[in-house]
Amino acid sequence: MLGLVLVLLLALLLFGLGFAVKVLWWVAVAVFVIWLLGFVARGTGSTGTRGRWYRW
């Protein structure tokens, strides 16, 4: 009985881990696309800056 519970817990843990990794991959792709769009769509700043869309 204990072995069955451990196997079920392991299966649940691996399923949750796989789901979390898949979600993190989609988040990473979205951040990368936004980062690329920032370089493509950056405006020319008239305040003497080099046209960067970020502050740092």
Residue 53, pLDDT above cutoff 90: no
Query: In 3D, which of 15, 18, 13, 54 has the Cα closest to residue 37?
Result: 54
**Does pTM top 0.85 for this prediction?**
no
Residue 56, pLDDT above cutoff 60: no
Average pLDDT value for the chain: 79
Choose between 27 and 47: higher pLDDT: 27
Give me the DSSP letters along 9-50: HHHHHHHHHHHHHHHHHHHHHHHHHHHHHHHHSPPPPSSSS-
Q: Write out pLDDT tens, residues 24-46.
A: 999 999 999 998 888 777 655 55
